[in-house]
Amino acid sequence: MMPPSDPYAGERLKHSHFHERQAAMNLRDAWSSWNGYKFADYYYDESYEYFCIRNTCGTYDICPMQKYMIEGPDALAMLNRMVTRDLRKLGVDRVTYVCWCTDSGRMIDDGTIFRLGEERFMLTCGSPSLAWLRKSSLGFEQLSITEYTEDFAALSLQGPTSFAVLKRMGLEAVGELKPFGIMHLPFNGSSLMISRTGFTGDLGYELWIEPSEALPLWDALYSAGEDYGIHPYGEAATNMARMEAAFIMPDMEFNEALKTINFEYDQTPLELNLGWLVDFKKPHFNGRAALLEQTKRGPKRMLVKLDIEGNKPADGSILYSNKRCSKEIGYVTSGMWSPAVKANIALAMVDTQALKGEIWAEVYYERELRHRHKVARCTLKDKPFWAPARARQTPPGDC
């Protein structure tokens, strides 16, 4: 008798190009999924992995991140119409952070654009965007759009000893790479692309190579990093680091506009405090008229950084204009006790009119199975909670 076919065979998660090495190090077998890939929540302990990012260095698998190559004479014009930032200012072998919107100015997603040549660009983002790219390309005939997600093995190396590890690998030239710069170096008979980019707010790089060289790259990296505390980290530690850097995350700080059901439950770049990404001096781009109008009248709410008294994380807390909690003015999108900053930090969406007054958070927490709550004073912060000088220095220093 023939064995019955597996009804779930088509739904099994794909393995990234580094999965063989990562699976051996995932002692807790703690996996989730990202864009159809098996993806680590954590490998051993999220706090341990967080401290690797902040004190030594760690690797984060970005193979599941969506990657698209846009090429041709019309590539720049098409992308410049789609995103809010002026890409004409982006030089070859440079990277920039961008976002793109609907015609109503509601943010669809954010990501990075790599300019790999005069007419060659790579867009990376967290969610699939091929359909939107194709819609945005209507009327532009001299370009091609190709999904490259599986054609790159991509690994993020982050932390204060990240440059030291690359230097030990024989990649000393990376020391001259400026933030958001790109460099191409030989590796094992192939070409290794290194960008000084990342999602932790610290010194770090992203390594891009053809899939056949993924495991040799991993082995060389971990051999060089053995004395520098290298360790893989998962989504949990990433979330901690990006909060300290005040970086936004989809499904936390913002809802992707094309997936949002309720009216204005999505956000605009201005509401997310990303006005610096919107360049009204360039020609027409998606959402320009709506965003210009919002600039004139001001956004109703704004994403802000808060320092909250006490040490109980305020994640998901409701915010009020007074200690009596009689008037609701916003909510916390992400919150944590920051080990590096030694502060109770949060990102929060707050009514713009309330930003000049007091802000209080109603914090719920648990102590020995008993549920408690308190009202804590909040202080607005202008700068990221974590922004070490080494993240901007060139050369970055050899820890």
Q: DSSP string spanning 296-359?
A: HH--SEEEEEEEESSSS--TT-EEESSTT--SEEEEEEEEEEETTTTEEEEEEEEEGGGTTS-E
CB atoms within 10 A of CB 185: 17
> Does 267 map to a domain?
no
C-alpha pair distances (Å), 273 with each of 267, 290, 299, 325: 10, 16, 10, 26
Q: What is the CATH number of the domain that holds 366?
A: 2.40.30.110
Examine residue 366 and state whether it is found in any structural domain, yes or no.
yes
- The parent domain of residue 342 ranges over 300-387
**Residues 217, 73 within the same domain:** no
Q: What is the 3-state secondary structure (H, E, C) of 24-52?
A: HHCCCCEEEEECCEEEEEECCCHHHHHHH
Judgement on whether residues 207 and 340 belong to the same structural domain of the protein: no
CA-based nearest residue to 287, from 73, 66, 98: 98
Tell me if 396 is assigned to some domain: no
The pLDDT assigned to 9 comes to 52
pLDDT of 2: 44
Question: What are 383's two structure tokens?
Answer: 């700068």
Q: What is the pLDDT of residues 285-324, one digit of tens each?
A: 999 999 999 999 999 999 999 999 999 999 999 999 999 9
Do residues 197 and 55 both lie within one domain? Answer: yes
Last residue of a domain, one of 212, 233, 254: 233
Is 322 a domain residue? yes
Paired with 207 in beta bridges are: 155, 194
In a domain, 293, yes or no: no
216, 334: one domain:
no
Tracing tokens 């040490």 back to the chain, one arrives at 311
Element (H, E) at 19: helix 19-25
Strands, sheet with 190-195, edge to edge from the N-terminal-most edge strand: 182-187, 190-195, 204-209, 153-158, 57-61, 230-232
Q: Which candidate, 316, 67, 341, 61, places its Cα nearest to that of 199?
A: 61
CATH number of residue 218's parent domain = 3.30.1360.120
Spatial separation of the C-alpha atoms in residues 267 and 262, rounded to whole Å: 11
* C-alpha closest to that of 304 among 190, 359, 382: 382
Unique residue bearing structure tokens 């980019």: 197
Task: Tell whether 159 and 219 lie within a shared domain.
Answer: yes
Is residue 357 located within the same domain as residue 369?
A: yes
Last residue of a domain, one of 150, 172, 189: 150
Q: How many independent structural domains does the chain possess? A: 3
Cα gap 165→6, rounded to integer Å? 44
For 59, the token pair is: 């690797």
Q: What is the per-residue DSSP string for 195-233?
A: ES--SSSSSEEEEEE-GGGHHHHHHHHHHHTGGGTEEE-
Residue 21 and residue 86 share a domain: no
285 domain residue, yes or no: no
At 372 the three-state DSSP class reads: strand
- Is 279 contained in some domain? no
Burial of 271-280, coded b for 16+ CB within 10 Å and e otherwise, reads: bbbbbebbbe
- Interhelix angle 46-55/235-244, nearest 10 degrees: 50
- Which of 102, 124, 150 terminates a domain? The answer is 150
Q: State both tokens at 116.
A: 């790999």
Instruction: Please tell me the distance from the alpha carbon of residue 234 to that of residue 249, in angstroms, as a whole number.
Output: 15
- Segments of the chain with pLDDT less than 70: 1-10, 399
337-389 confidence digits (pLDDT tens): 999 999 999 999 999 999 999 999 999 999 999 999 999 999 999 999 999 99
Domain shared by 161 and 146, yes or no:
no
